[in-house]
Structure 1
Amino acid sequence: MIKELLYAITPENHPVIWMVVTCALGFLVAYNAYPSVLFVAREKHLMDEPESRSAHKERTPTLGGIGIFISIMVVLTLVGAFLNTKVLLLVMGSITILFFIGLKDDLAGTSPGKKLFGQLLAATLLLVFTNTRIVGFSGILEVSVLPYGLSLVFTLFVYIIIVNAYNLIDGIDGLAGSIACLVSMVYGILFLMANQLSLAILAMALVGSILAFLRCNFSKKHKIFMGDTGSMVVGFLLAFFTVSFINIVQTAPSSPYYKDAPVVAIALLFYPLLDTLRVFALRVFKYKVSPFKADRNHIHHHIINLGYSHLQATIWIVAINALIIVITFKLLPLNLNTQILCLVGYGALLYGLPFVIKAKAKTSLPEDSY
């Protein structure tokens, strides 16, 4: 009877229900963890002090990633027996490494070199033991398959780019969490379509934990920031989803996205990638400083400077990224190189919308209203 009951409730038989339950469980665990995290942060004065480039004016806890990490670990522990245990254990080990590096950085500071080493170590664990890597460029620039060694190096490069690009967009309330929710939900659906239930459930566990974080992140009374503790873990999971999706699709010729995996992945993470490329270019070529020198030149900072609130800026950016994803899926019948050129074009144009709308609103006002 027990055997029959276990068979009846396996993820393969009810995948959507499992995804919904996992998301709800992730939310509940994180939701109940945050009061304790906030209490400890305030009692021990573990606060972020506002500075000249900060988007906030008050001392705020920066340990929001603790709730996300605890939630994911608890959920995977509870449901892991029904899933691909090997992959999930490796994921848990990798994000644990990044969690403690991020925690140290939030509490006492960590050198960029140590953070980079931790990211490489975490990514290498998954690469070595699962062989989940980007095998080629799917025909971009006429390159289909990469040599094994180059494939490993390029996959590690993708991990580093995505983790750090995600970390850089954590600059205003709700933005990093909302982008992660959007991307994880889409990946959850794509993994479900590919019958990769372990990855789909992991993606939904992340969605649930981040939704609980966003509740606090947008709160005025119980505000908490994600911090490096969260951005390292969440950014790494988004990178893992990206590499896994591309690997699954590229090794399955029957997949509807067989030749389109790169453009889908770029579209999902378009804002972090675009903002990082833009900021790095400005720092190196215009201001002649290190590309890692912090400033307020991010797109979200400029939107805030136009007079939008944090919530409005976040809604703008997430809505635009969602629209970019929809357009990208609509254009999949096109040649891959054409898709990428179009993506860069309409993506850049759409992110100029808030500036155009604000400029038109100002010019439409009578002179005595300025």
Structure 2
Amino acid sequence: MAYLYELFTNTYLLVCVAILAPVLLSLRMYPVIIYLVKSKNLMDEPIDRSMHTAKTPTLGGVGMFITFSLTLIGLGMVMGLSQIELIKLLSIIAASITLMFLGIKDDLVGLAPKKKFMIQILAALMVIVLTDVRIASCYGLLGLEELPYIVSVAFSVFVFLAVINAFNLIDGIDGLAGTIGVIVTAAFGGFYILNERYLMVIISFALIGALLGFLRFNLSSRRKIFMGDSGSMFIGFILAYQAISFLEFNATTVTPYTVHVAPIMAMAILSYPILDTLRVFTIRIAQKRSPFSADRNHIHHRILALGLTHKKATLTLGIINILVIALAFIIKDLYINLQLYLLVLAVPLLYFSPWLIFRRGSKKSKMQRKRTLAMLRARINSFLG
């Protein structure tokens, strides 16, 4: 066993196993889930605002959770984790199970928003109170520094709720939530590798493996499956945990890789779900509707309306998310509040840029089609004339 402990101190081996294990498990897991869902008719029925036209298996989040958890438990057993790290690992799995049951019930029979929030708060408190992973400082952002304990706990719960529900909202087209999830967890995972935080490394890269395994089927035309609320809430919870752990570490530890403006970097990494949620909530409230009412005002809906396919829209938004992270890295040495103002200005422009690019392209293509039709009519008339 001591040999295994020493073997898995190799970061590169750890990352490879953390990614490959859930991917390989997914190859066997999802065909079984798809078969069971179809045989029991637990399908997602298309409605007016749906982006699909045929019944599609849901509960893909169950497969993600199982592959992620088995990988986490297996690696946790051979890594020689400390007692504190084992408690953190168990609290994450316990909170994820709680959210999984919530998501499955919501996918199958529906659930009132109030009940969702209550269970999400319970899951968040499990990790915040039991492991003391919370946002204790605002790094001087908007003049705020250290937070009192109760305020810190309340704010951390709010961040969990915001990220969980934001990821639930962006799960609207094939591959989008999974792709954004991979980008976000890879950004946090890279930071954890540099700082040798091995528990967070396996959490980050096991999630990447679980998401890649899911995307293999989510983007398939033959054996498609949706993640459902069980999947989007599970992803949102793990990403919120990564973000809060990222903020906590940078506030309490100094290393060559410490990020002194961690809140700005975290907001940049999570920029797409944050912006999309703020945008749709603003539109719905302006229209005097509940912010949780469903519509087709999401950024991905608008990009699809420009004529892009699901895969192209997903790729476009993923690239923009990476550009926002790069921008935050470039300006990281500026005054923290100036960075915030720059992001507030730049992020909407970057995410709304497809309207400028593809609209112009679509107008040009329309003009070309009109010219071609006019030329054909002229030739036909001259031939008949």
TM-score bucket of the superposed structures, by smaller chain: over 0.9
Choose from 46, 66, 70 the match for 1:70: 66
Choose from 4, 7, 20 the match for 1:6: 4
Tell me, in whole angstroms, the C-alpha distance in 2 between the residues paired with 1:355 and 1:160: 30
SS in 2 for 1:283: helix
TM-score where L is the length of structure 2: 0.92
* 1:169–1:176 CA contact under 8 A, matched in 2: yes
Residue 100 of structure 1 is matched in structure 2 by 101
In the alignment, residue 10 of structure 1 is paired with which amino acid?
Answer: F
* 1:191–1:197 CA contact under 8 A, matched in 2: yes
Q: Answer with 1 or 2: which has the greater Rg.
A: 2
- The 3 A distance-change label for structure 1 pair 7 and 73 is closer
2:308 aligned with 1:338: no
In the alignment, residue 9 of structure 1 is paired with which amino acid?
Answer: L
In the alignment, residue 238 of structure 1 is paired with which amino acid?
Answer: L
SS in 2 for 1:172: coil
Residue 224 of structure 1 is matched in structure 2 by 225
* 2:57–2:224 CA contact under 8 A, matched in 1: yes
Q: How many Å apart are 1:10 and its aligned residue? A: 3.2
Tell me, in whole angstroms, the C-alpha distance in 2 between the residues paired with 1:212 and 1:253: 36
Identity across matched positions, percent: 40
Query: What does residue range 138-157 of structure 1 map to in structure 2 within 5 Å?
Result: 138-157=139-158
* 1:252–1:258 CA contact under 8 A, matched in 2: no
In the alignment, residue 59 of structure 1 is paired with which amino acid?
Answer: K
Residue 184 of structure 1 is matched in structure 2 by 185
In the alignment, residue 343 of structure 2 is paired with which amino acid?
Answer: L
Choose from 16, 19, 32 the match for 1:20: 16
Deviation per CA, 1:309-334: give whole Å up to 9, x if none. 00000000000001110111111011
Residue 353 of structure 1 is matched in structure 2 by 353
Q: How many Å apart are 1:97 and its aligned residue? A: 0.3
Deviation per CA, 1:255-298: give whole Å up to 9, x if none. 6444311011000110000000000000001x110000010000
* 2:195–2:255 CA contact under 8 A, matched in 1: no
Tell me, in whole angstroms, the C-alpha distance in 1 between the residues paired with 2:291 and 2:326: 32
Deviation per CA, 1:192-227: give whole Å up to 9, x if none. 122211011111000001101001111111011010
In the alignment, residue 79 of structure 1 is paired with which amino acid?
Answer: L
- The 3 A distance-change label for structure 1 pair 368 and 6 is closer
Residue 382 of structure 2 is matched in structure 1 by none
In the alignment, residue 21 of structure 1 is paired with which amino acid?
Answer: V
After superposition, the CA RMSD in angstroms is 1.3
Higher mean displacement: 252-261 or 113-122: 252-261
Residue 91 of structure 1 is matched in structure 2 by 92
Deviation per CA, 1:330-366: give whole Å up to 9, x if none. 1101111111111122211111221111121133346
Moved over 6 A (4+): none
SS in 2 for 1:223: coil
Q: How many Å apart are 1:368 and its aligned residue? A: 6.1
Residue 381 of structure 2 is matched in structure 1 by none
- The 3 A distance-change label for structure 1 pair 212 and 254 is closer
Aligned residues: 365
